[in-house]
Chains A and B, each alone.
Chain A
Amino acid sequence: MKFFIALLVMGILTQNFTLSKFLGICPFLGVSKKLNTALGMSAAVIFVMLIATAVTYPVNMLLINYDLEFLQTIVFILVIAALVQTVEIVLKKYVKSLYNSLGIYLPLITTNCAVLGVVILNIDNISIYSAYNYGFLHSMINSFAAGVGFMLAMVLFAGVRSRLETADVPRFLQGLPITLIAASIVSVSFLGFAGLVEGMGLM
């Protein structure tokens, strides 16, 4: 139980996926202009991350069983791409309301490196040689934490950006440069969480 909480705290705060692992920077910079879109995008990411982890876990078992580990990258990206398509079709047909709020973000997610990233990191940690030796539940919780961490970063950054819109920025920093510098400061603030897991006695 302790380890589960530690995983959550690490994924969301101390080792935030976006701000300290640099996964999912494209949507972090691209779709964080408005709070609504930021929320919708990150909800879709959490959703896909969880499904992708649940599906790739048994697929990986299968690959290891037949000594085909070298096909991991290719199989995982195809599984994710197929999954995203299927989810989109299913949502469109049966859960119209959810499709309207999440659907438009789904095609963007296939090439979101955070999704493939979390899947690969989980699989790396499943190996018996790894220090953590994840099981299925660990992987799911780690993915969930990664997704929530992404959402937190997106939402915080959307707030910062809405302030930036009205700020008087020197001309040469306008646009992307000031956005990146703002991201840098948000990332500094997350450094403050370092040591939280150990401090809470979770590890």
Chain B
Amino acid sequence: MAKVKYNYCKELTKGILKENPVLRLVLGTCPALATSTSVVNAIGMGIATTMVLICSNIVISALRKVIPSKARIPSYIVIIASFVTIVQMLIKAFVPALDESLGVFLPLIVVNCIILGRAEAFASKNPVLVSAVDGLGMGIGFTAALSCMGFVRELLGGGTLLSGTDTLLSAFVDLGSFRGLDFNTALESIGLSPMTIFILPAGGFFVFGILMAVVNKISEKKGLKRAVLSGCEGCPLASGCSKLKEDDAQ
């Protein structure tokens, strides 16, 4: 059998740019909107999702020849849910502050379409190492998109940047007295206050919309298609979607 050579570098970067899960494939919009109220939250969510993505991709890829095709989806769900629970327990034990700020969206990583989507579209067809790289790339892409939104929303809506860094990182590195940047006093001195609306849900939709417009513009320049709302094409469970499409076409 001819050995397929994988371009690991390409598999890694495609998730970050060309096939960015949030900005190009429009997947995982719920956590993207809900947890991007600050950069630290966004990075925390990104790391948690990336961990689950890499682990589930590795296991699913390793078991791809063992799992009978009929038991595929339930098996994937069990594997993904296990890793989500593991990540959840680790975060609760070692970074409790992050657990509080992510709240219900931590267990909801289970239903993040990106993870099941990659399992079905990539890990179930490719060997272990390249699946892990794919998971890492997609995870970085997800984290980057969330951080972009978090940066804009935190700066405009809260007048701070990287606030709460200490709570996220104190378990790993000593940051000294760094607590993030706070521009509120500077703003107040010139009679301004942050635009709270950007932290509220409405601001999340708005920032996401503008970011999509910018990404679309860049994609068009590079000769790529604009991102369209595939909505559920990413999730393998969404067989009903095709029926919906027919319904729409009528």
Q: Do the two chains bind?
A: yes
Total cross-chain contacts (CB, 8 A): 156
- Whether B240 contacts A108 by the Cβ 8 Å rule is yes
Residues of A within 8 A of B180 (CB): none
- Whether A187 contacts B217 by the Cβ 8 Å rule is no
- Whether A73 contacts B240 by the Cβ 8 Å rule is no
Q: Which of A162-203 contact B (CB under 8 A)?
A: 172-173, 175-181, 183-185, 187-188, 191
| B residues at A contact (CB < 8 Å) | 26, 29-30, 33-34, 73-74, 77-78, 81-82, 84-85, 88-89, 104, 107-108, 110-113, 116, 197, 200-206, 208-210, 212-213, 216-217, 226-229, 231-232, 235, 237-241, 243-244, 247-248
Q: Within 8 Å of chain B (Cβ to Cβ): is A37?
A: yes
| Assembled-state Cα–Cα distance A45/B147 (Å) | 31
CB-nearest residue of chain B to A170: B213
Other A-B pairs beyond A108-B240, A183-B209, A188-B197, 13, CB < 8 Å: A22-B33, A22-B201, A25-B33, A27-B232, A74-B85, A78-B74, A81-B74, A108-B232, A116-B107, A116-B108, A175-B229, A176-B216, A179-B229
| Assembled-state Cα–Cα distance A5/B218 (Å) | 49
Residues of B within 8 A of A181 (CB): 205-206, 209-210
- Whether A105 contacts B240 by the Cβ 8 Å rule is yes
- Identify the 5 closest CB pairs spanning chains A and B, nearest first: A30-B231, A180-B209, A184-B205, A22-B34, A177-B213
| A residues at B contact (CB < 8 Å) | 19-27, 29-31, 33-34, 37, 70-74, 77-78, 81, 104-108, 110-113, 116-117, 120-121, 124, 172-173, 175-181, 183-185, 187-188, 191
- Whether A74 contacts B82 by the Cβ 8 Å rule is yes
- Whether B89 contacts A73 by the Cβ 8 Å rule is no
- Whether A29 contacts B229 by the Cβ 8 Å rule is yes
Which of B84, B200, B205, B248 contacts A180, CB < 8 Å? Answer: B205
- Whether B213 contacts A73 by the Cβ 8 Å rule is no
A108-B237 contact in complex given A176-B26, A176-B227, C-beta closer than 8 Å: yes
- Whether A111 contacts B111 by the Cβ 8 Å rule is yes
CB-nearest residue of chain A to B229: A176
Which of B85, B110, B217: most chain A CB closer than 10 A? B110
CB-nearest residue of chain B to A188: B202
A26-B213 contact in complex given A78-B74, A111-B235, A184-B202, C-beta closer than 8 Å: no
- Whether A34 contacts B77 by the Cβ 8 Å rule is no
Residues of A within 8 A of B238 (CB): 107-108, 111
Residues of B within 8 A of A81 (CB): 73-74, 77
